[in-house]
């Protein structure tokens, strides 16, 4: 077989333009500073080489920047066609400076403070010689849904939806109200305090918000979709900013830090998805999995789950560590709710809603995909909006427990169609998918030894025993489920198959014991260790990456890039490897552009020192670029002649 | 067809100047000139479908189904030939669906280049969120595809039919080779939108004086071939490869130009249907899908880039 190149050579940056829809309130969103902060986040947290280009009007006209340093602005003449000019400038930047950066962020508020030029700027991203993307900020899903009608039908560019979430809905409304009433009654002048409270509540539309929320919750709780909010796009990155995110004094808000981190991972295609499979109380293995991943420094950007796996992911997304604790402390409550769900699942639905603060899945900054099964089609349904409690109940409606209606769709447990929903995480933009498969092998039952004779009629009586048959059915169900869950391993890089000593899918009181046992299991530790390795790999460059680090002046190449020589049998002479030929050519073009020189340092084994021919091949490939050969370095462990490149 | 009528809304015909540019940027129509898309563009209408709309449920689009180009949003696409999980194969902006309908229509019109109807898989297709499409109603196929002006687009669309029918098998084959082993299936399905199926015929030497002599070798495209019917022989460097039905092989897509120059064009001994994935297509896909390039190649050599 021909020796294949295993990796493509990547010599160009990626470009991302950040645009905000005209409907977005920019009062607390200074886009230029926000993009700079995003770039800084990527530099610090992900160690990528990032550059920010601001698109501004060339008013007053300024001379072009010196060619020795990358421009920070694209200055558009007032009379120019914005699309054509910006497109040409981006192509030029990519060709001149693309090799020096991993990521270029383009910010346009200087030319377009209101978003009225979005279509023209979007079109400027078409036809770039590098990977290009538009990050489009919206604060309402319906604005995103109407985009073709508002912005038009534009040539294709990959568009990353960026959802700007509002503040989390008020939690503990009654508790808060009681505290406020207590404060009023204890005040010096209760009458005046009550009047002030009432005035403030009216001014801030608090009653209206309560009423709207109450209607939304109750109607959804009983299956109506009349007030169900529209869903964010599946792949949207969700940001929740507390005030102006660029104001970092005295300390930045936690939500802002987390939002920039999530956005940074999205821009650089490093999102991590976590899927937790459903298996009743056995899904509690997902709790230590989440805890240990976070402790190990593996971020979680998107989550999916079915049944109890969906409970855990939604509780974590809504309440953080407290959500996981709430799951642990309330395993008996859930157990009773499941018991009653044989005839009515509303008690459990209300509890799930209350326990998640009646939050909507669309309000969660960490998107959760709760998976259920549509009975009529036998298809998986991916729920990313709607009342979390109701969606979770639908995701956990395992027969023989009652089904859940959302609208006119009758839904059953998500485990029936996708127990470990991994593929949906790929579609939602996760580059690394971690999964917890919670279904254990059925416990072995002691069998009668072969040497003990059992009469045929006894065996026949056992086969007819309804209790035994019910148990057989249950165990067969679990076994099939487990097999099905493994079919979803192919979409995940890390597939944690949980093992616990006693499997207890239906005994909810055992949830904390299962979580504790899993937390100390070797399987979990191995899975977390594997996840850390994958996450660290995701932080690295592609093996075929070539870039010039302007800070160190070195040409950095991935391990798959061969900078050396081969003997060409056709030409019967030595030549540069194909990688080396292209890298030298690209770097030479770069140094010519900036008026610098290319430096070459040979590394050679004792048997193959460099000579004039080797140098000639490089200078010929470099063309007009000045080349400086440094003193070669002897490296006894090398078997072939290689070289390093740098710029002066 | 499961009618999506209750949940769709039609909008005015979009600006005529915008649609050809959009169509030309769709992977399945890559290579077709904007001018040759003008007729198609003039007949398309912009339609919005609501979340959850089921376009097809266990059926193959017929000549009565419209042709749709997704401009915004996404839809799941499940073939009964695929064992992939729902949402592993997604239609995204630029994807075209309803190609089987065009094929069915073309078969009824006795147009060359159609594929056998019995081979079409049954499809489940559902909107995941709001989906906007440019839609060509089936009753406008005659007006768009019968004139000569519409033929380049028709030819290109028909070439995509077998690719999409065999896509689950092709993706499975791709995942079995090191270059694509780490790539997510959803991206590989997208990559196939740049990979048309062509029918190759044996070369017949017409010059009696030159009979028996090998023609001068010309460099072929750096491409991977997936054979749907027949057998393909390719010569890469000094190695000759025979690719049979259901196999994926060919040139090194990551090879540099000097290696690509040594690739000979594929040779067939009988009529052969081949899905061709060129290096140009791969590069277009890498530019279009951020992060895709990073997932190419096997895993074990991925270590930190070092000075």
Distinct helix (H) and strand (E) counts, chain A = 22, 23
Mean pLDDT of B189-217: 74
Respond yes or no on whether the N-terminal peptide bond of residue B275 is cis (omega within 30° of 0).
no
Least Cα separation, residue B278 to chain A (angstroms): 14
Least Cα separation, residue A250 to chain B (angstroms): 36
* Beta carbons of A153 and B134 less than 8 Å apart: yes
Least CB–CB distance from A423: residue in B51, B84, B298 = B84
Beta strand residue intervals within chain B, DSSP E:
8-10, 45-49, 54-59, 67-79, 90-91, 96-97, 123-136, 197-200, 223-229, 232-236, 239-243, 248-250, 267-268, 272-278
Question: Would an 8 Å CB–CB cutoff place B211 in contact with chain A?
Answer: no
Least Cα separation, residue A458 to chain B (angstroms): 43
Return the pLDDT at B64: 87
Name which residue leads in pLDDT, A170 or B301: A170
B191 contacts B223 by C-beta, under 8 angstroms: no
For A6, name the nearest residue in chain B, comparing CA atoms only. Answer: B297
Return the pLDDT at A527: 96
* Beta carbons of B290 and A559 less than 8 Å apart: no
Mean pLDDT of chain A: 92
| Count of positions (residues) in chain A | 648
Return the pLDDT at A12: 84
Helix (H, G, I), strand (E, B) or coil at B162: helix
Query: Which stretches of chain A score pLDDT less than 70?
Result: 1-5, 503
Question: Would an 8 Å CB–CB cutoff place B112 in contact with chain A?
Answer: no
- In the predicted model, is pLDDT for residue B5 greater than 60? no
Q: Quote ipTM for the complex.
A: 0.90
Residues of A in contact with B48 (CB under 8 A): 145, 148-149
Mean pLDDT of B71-79: 95
> DSSP class of residue A458?
H
Return the pLDDT at B122: 92
Return the pLDDT at B112: 85
The pair of structure tokens assigned to A385 is 């909006």
For A419, name the nearest residue in chain B, comparing CA atoms only. Answer: B85
Return the pLDDT at B216: 54
- Cβ neighbors of B236 (< 8 A, separation 6 or more) are A2, B250, B251, B252, B262, B263, B264
Least CB–CB distance from B239: residue in A2, A130, A380 = A2
> DSSP class of residue A43?
I
E strand or H helix that includes residue B111: none
Q: What stretches of B109-231 show up as alpha helix (H) in DSSP?
A: 141-145, 151-165, 167-175, 185-191
- Residue B279 β-bridge partners: none
Is A407 buried (19+), middle (13-18) or exposed (0-12) by CB count in 10 A?
A: middle
* Beta carbons of A153 and B299 less than 8 Å apart: no
Beta strand residue intervals within A307-444, DSSP E:
368-374, 379-383, 404-406, 409-413, 432-437
- Residue B200 β-bridge partners: B272
E strand or H helix that includes residue A419: none
For B190, name the nearest residue in chain A, comparing CA atoms only. Answer: A427
For B259, name the nearest residue in chain A, comparing CA atoms only. Answer: A578
A386 contacts A406 by C-beta, under 8 angstroms: yes
Alpha carbon distance B22, B3 (integer Å): 26
Terminal CA-CA length for chain B: 59
Residue whose C-alpha is closest to residue A558's, from A10, A4, A5: A10
Beta strand residue intervals within A546-588, DSSP E:
546-549, 554-557, 565-568, 573-576
The per-residue pLDDT for range A497-547, each reduced to its tens digit, is 987 777 677 788 899 999 999 999 999 999 999 999 999 989 988 888 899
What is the largest distance, in Å, between two alpha-carbon atoms of chain B?
68
Alpha carbon distance B39, A271 (integer Å): 42
Residue whose C-alpha is closest to residue B122's, from B169, B68, B164, B67: B164
Distinct helix (H) and strand (E) counts, chain B = 9, 14
Beta carbons within 10 angstroms of residue A173's beta carbon: 16
Question: Would an 8 Å CB–CB cutoff place B304 in contact with chain A?
Answer: yes
Return the pLDDT at A56: 95
**Measuring CA to CA, how many Å separate A111 from each of A76, A101, A430?**
8, 24, 33
Alpha carbon distance A366, A245 (integer Å): 18
| Count of positions (residues) in chain B | 307
Return the pLDDT at A64: 83
The per-residue pLDDT for range B106-130, each reduced to its tens digit, is 999 999 888 886 678 899 999 999 9
Residue keyed to tokens 């971020």: A299
Return the pLDDT at B297: 85
CA angle (A107, A110, A111) in 5-degree steps = 100
Alpha carbon distance B234, B249 (integer Å): 9
Alpha carbon distance A496, A290 (integer Å): 12
* Beta carbons of A541 and B126 less than 8 Å apart: no
Alpha carbon distance A334, A396 (integer Å): 11
A46, A130, A156, best to mutate vs chain B, most B CBs in 10 Å: A156
């Amino acid at each position: 077989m021909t020796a294949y190149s295993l990796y493509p050579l990547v010599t160009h940056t990626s470009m991302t333009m950040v645009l905000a829809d005209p409907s977005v309130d920019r009062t607390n969103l200074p886009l230029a500073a926000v993009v700079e902060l995003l770039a800084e986040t990527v530099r610090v947290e992900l160690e990528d080489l990032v550059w920010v280009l601001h698109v501004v009007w060339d008013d007053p006209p300024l001379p072009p920047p010196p060619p020795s340093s990358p421009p920070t602005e694209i200055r558009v003449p007032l009379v120019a066609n914005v699309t054509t000019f910006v497109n040409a400038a981006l192509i030029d930047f990519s060709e001149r400076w693309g090799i020096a950066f991993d990521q270029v962020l383009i910010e346009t508020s200087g030319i377009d403070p209101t978003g009225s030029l979005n279509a023209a700027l979007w079109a400027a991203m078409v036809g770039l010689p590098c990977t290009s993307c538009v990050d489009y900020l919206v604060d309402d899903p319906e604005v995103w849904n109407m985009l073709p009608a508002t912005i038009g039908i534009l040539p294709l560019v990959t568009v990353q939806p960026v959802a700007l979430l509002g503040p989390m809905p008020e939690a503990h409304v009654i508790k808060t109200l009681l505290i406020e009433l207590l404060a009023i009654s204890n005040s010096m002048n209760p009458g005046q305090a009550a009047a002030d409270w009432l005035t403030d509540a009216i001014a801030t539309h608090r009653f209206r918000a309560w009423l709207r929320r109450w209607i939304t919750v109750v109607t959804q709780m009983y299956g109506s979709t009349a007030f169900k909010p529209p869903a964010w796009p599946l792949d949207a990155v969700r940001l929740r900013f507390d005030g102006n995110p660029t104001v970092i004094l005295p300390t930045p808000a936690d939500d802002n830090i987390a939002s920039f981190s999530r956005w940074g991972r999205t821009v650089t295609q490093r999102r991590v998805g976590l899927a937790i499979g459903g298996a009743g109380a056995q899904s509690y293995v997902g709790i230590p999995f989440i805890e240990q991943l976070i402790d190990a420094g593996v971020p979680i950007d998107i989550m999916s789950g079915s049944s109890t796996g969906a409970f855990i992911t939604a509780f974590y997304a809504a309440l953080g560590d407290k959500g996981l604790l709430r799951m642990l402390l309330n395993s008996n409550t859930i157990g009773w709710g499941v018991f009653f769900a044989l005839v009515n699942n509303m008690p459990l639905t209300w509890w799930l809603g209350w326990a998640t603060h009646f939050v909507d899945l669309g309000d969660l900054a960490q998107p959760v995909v709760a998976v259920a099964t549509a009975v009529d089609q036998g298809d998986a349904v991916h729920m990313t909006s709607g009342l979390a409690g109701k969606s979770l109940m639908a995701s956990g409606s395992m027969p023989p427990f009652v089904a859940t209606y959302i609208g006119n769709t009758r839904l059953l447990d998500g485990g029936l169609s996708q127990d470990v929903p991994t593929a949906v995480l790929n579609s939602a933009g996760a580059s690394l998918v971690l999964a917890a498969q919670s279904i254990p092998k059925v416990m072995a039952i002691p069998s009668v030894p072969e040497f003990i004779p059992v009469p045929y009629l006894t065996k026949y009586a056992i086969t007819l025993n309804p209790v035994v048959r019910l148990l057989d059915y249950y165990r067969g169900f679990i076994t099939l489920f487990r097999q099905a869950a493994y079919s979803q391993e192919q979409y995940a890089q890390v597939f944690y198959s949980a093992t616990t000593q006693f499997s207890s899918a239906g005994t909810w009181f055992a949830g904390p014991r299962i979580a504790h046992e899993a937390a100390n299991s070797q399987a979990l530790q191995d899975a977390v260790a594997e996840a850390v390795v994958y996450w660290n790999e995701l932080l690295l460059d592609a093996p075929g990456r070539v870039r010039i680090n302007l800070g160190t002046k070195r040409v950095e190449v991935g391990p798959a890039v061969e900078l050396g020589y081969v003997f060409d049998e056709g030409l019967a002479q030595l030549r540069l490897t194909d990688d080396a030929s292209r890298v030298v050519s690209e770097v030479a073009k770069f140094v010519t552009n900036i008026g610098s020189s290319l430096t070459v340092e040979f590394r050679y084994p004792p048997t193959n020192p460099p000579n004039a021919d080797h140098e000639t091949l490089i200078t010929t490939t470099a063309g007009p670029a000045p080349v400086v050969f440094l003193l070669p370095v002897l490296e006894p462990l090398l078997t072939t002649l290689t070289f390093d490149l740098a710029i002066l | 067809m499961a009618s999506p009528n209750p949940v769709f809304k039609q909008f005015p015909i979009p600006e005529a100047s915008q649609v050809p540019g959009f169509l030309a940027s769709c992977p399945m129509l890559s290579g077709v000139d904007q001018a040759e898309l003008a007729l198609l563009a003039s007949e398309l209408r912009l339609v919005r479908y609501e979340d959850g709309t089921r376009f097809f449920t266990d059926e193959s689009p017929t000549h009565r189904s419209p042709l749709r180009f997704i401009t915004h949003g996404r839809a799941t696409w499940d073939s009964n030939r695929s064992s992939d999980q729902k949402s592993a194969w997604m239609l995204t902006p630029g994807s075209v669906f309803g190609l089987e309908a065009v094929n069915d229509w073309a078969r009824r019109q006795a147009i060359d280049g159609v594929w056998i109807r019995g081979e079409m898989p049954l499809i489940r297709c559902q909107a995941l969120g709001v989906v906007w499409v440019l839609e060509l109603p089936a009753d406008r196929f005659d007006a768009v595809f019968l004139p000569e002006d519409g033929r380049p687009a028709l030819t290109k669309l028909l070439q995509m039919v077998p690719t999409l029918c065999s896509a689950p098998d092709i993706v499975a084959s791709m995942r079995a080779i090191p270059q694509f082993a780490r790539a997510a299936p959803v991206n590989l399905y997208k990559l196939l939108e740049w990979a048309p199926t062509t029918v190759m015929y044996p070369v017949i030497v017409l010059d009696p004086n030159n009979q028996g002599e090998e023609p001068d070798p010309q460099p072929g495209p750096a491409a991977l071939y997936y054979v749907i019917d027949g057998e393909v022989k390719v010569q890469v460097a000094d190695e000759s490869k025979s690719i049979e039905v259901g196999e994926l092989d060919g040139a090194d897509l990551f090879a540099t130009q000097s290696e690509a120059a040594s690739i000979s064009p594929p040779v067939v001994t009988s009529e052969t249907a081949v899905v061709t994935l060129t290096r140009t297509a791969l590069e277009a896909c890498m530019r279009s899908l951020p992060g895709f390039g990073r997932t190419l190649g096997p895993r074990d050599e991925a270590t930190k880039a070092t000075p």
